[in-house]
Amino acid sequence: MGNKYTKRYAEEFKRDAIALVDSSGKTVTAVARELGISSESLRGWYRKAKTDRGEGVSGELTSAEREELKRLRKENREQQQTIKILKKATVRSMGRCNIPGRTVTGGVAGWRGSGVRGCRTSRSVKCGGDGGTGSR
């Protein structure tokens, strides 16, 4: 199991370590050993730097693309929540049943005089007072 506390390195240190791997011709593991850091950490930084320079594996996202994707996913999630809320509000304000094909005309005022006692998503309670035939 890993250490509970993760050691953080400054961006300048990371850049210098990556430059040392590029310029020295040594392996990532050898440079990591010299610097006294984990070879996996340095390998991750090096891989990320190569991708950001456009030298990485085909199909791998750059840091900027990763940030944009994260932002777009968050925006999408927020929009889906907004749509869900608006759908619920529309159902309530338009006087529509949650059962497809069933509506009560006249909005909220139409509910009062329509004889509809309760319109629920449950199949056991029918919308309207017609016994579920759909006719008025």
How does pLDDT run across 88-100, given as a tens digit for each residue? Answer: 887 776 655 555 5
Q: What is the pLDDT of residue 103?
A: 56
pTM of this structure: 0.44
Average pLDDT over residues 71-77: 96
Q: What does the pLDDT look like over 32-52, one tens digit per residue?
A: 999 999 999 999 999 888 888
Q: Are 37 and 10 in contact (CB under 8 A)?
A: no
Average pLDDT over residues 50-56: 79
Q: What is the pLDDT of residue 122?
A: 44
CA triplet 98, 101, 104: central angle to 5 degrees? Answer: 70
Phi, psi of 96 (to 5 degrees): -95, 145
Q: What is the pLDDT of residue 55?
A: 75
Q: What is the pLDDT of residue 123?
A: 46
